Amino acid sequence: MFYSLKKREIYSAVQQSLRLLLSIALSSLIAYVCRLHEPYWALITSVIVTQSRIVQTIQTSQDQIVGSLIGGVAGLIAIVLENYSQWSSLIVFTIVIIPMVALVAWRPSMRLGVVTLAVVFLFPSPGGMFERPFDRIMAIIVGVIASLAASYFILRPQARCNAFIHAKVAFDKLHILLHSVLTSHIIWEEVESMNDDVASELRDLASEIAEARKEHPNYTLEHSDPTLVKVYPILRRLQSDSIFVARAMDEYHQMLPDETRDVLKISLNQVFERFIQLCNEQADHSEPFFCSIQAANDFEAMIEPILKEIKENCPKTIQFTLEALCHDLILGHDVFMLSKKLRAFS
Kindly report the average pLDDT of the chain as a whole number.
80
Closest CA to 139 of 106, 160, 156, 116: 116
pLDDT at 133 over 80: no
Percent of the chain with pLDDT over 90: 11
pLDDT for the residue numbered 289: 64
Rounded mean pLDDT, 291-315 = 72
Model-wide pTM > 0.75: no
| Whether 131 contacts 124, CB under 8 Å | no
Determine the average pLDDT of the residues in 312-330: 85
Average pLDDT over every residue of 69-88: 84
pLDDT of 307 over the 70 cut: yes
Distance between CA atoms of 24 and 44, rounded to whole angstroms? 8
Query: What is residue 154's DSSP assignment?
Result: S
pLDDT-derived band at 330, boundaries 50, 70, 90: confident
Which residues, 6+ apart, have CB-to-CB distance to 329 below 8 Å?
238, 271, 303
More confident of the two residues 36 and 15? 36
For residue 338, the model assigns a pLDDT of 66
d(CA 53, CA 56): 5
**Buried-state track 154-182, b at ≥16 Cβ within 10 A, e below 16:** eeebbbbbbbbbbbbbbbbbbbebbebbb
Given a cut of 90, whether residue 234 has pLDDT beyond it is yes
For 138-162, the pLDDT digits (tens) are 888 888 888 888 777 765 657 788 8
Q: Which residue in 175, 322, 181 sits closest to 249, CA to CA? A: 181
> Is the per-residue pLDDT at 344 higher than 50?
no
Could you give the C-alpha distances from 319 to 117, 239, 253, 312, 326, in angstroms and in order? 67, 17, 13, 9, 10
Q: What is the DSSP string of 21-59?
A: HHHHHHHHHHHHHTT-S-THHHHHHHHHH--SSHHHHHH
pLDDT for the residue numbered 296: 52
Higher pLDDT, 292 or 58: 58
**Do 74 and 45 meet the contact criterion of CB atoms below 8 Å apart?**
no
pLDDT (0 to 100) of residue 125: 65
- Mean pLDDT in residue range 319-326: 87
Residues written for the chain: 346
Packing angle, helices 258-283 and 316-345, rounded to 10: 30
Q: Residue 257 pLDDT more than 70?
A: yes
**So what's the pLDDT on residue 310?**
82
> Cβ distance 96 to 121 under 8 Å?
yes
Q: How confident is the model at residue 346 (pLDDT cuts 50, 70, 90)?
A: very low
Mean pLDDT of 291-308: 69
Question: Of the given ranges (68-82, 104-118, 146-160, 306-320), which has the lowest mean pLDDT?
Answer: 146-160
Instruction: Look at residue 88 and tell me whether its pLDDT is greater than 80.
Output: yes
For residue 209, pLDDT over 70 is answered with: yes
Q: How far is CA 82 from the centre of its chain?
A: 47
Say what the pLDDT of residue 168 is: 92
Check residue 176 and give its pLDDT.
92
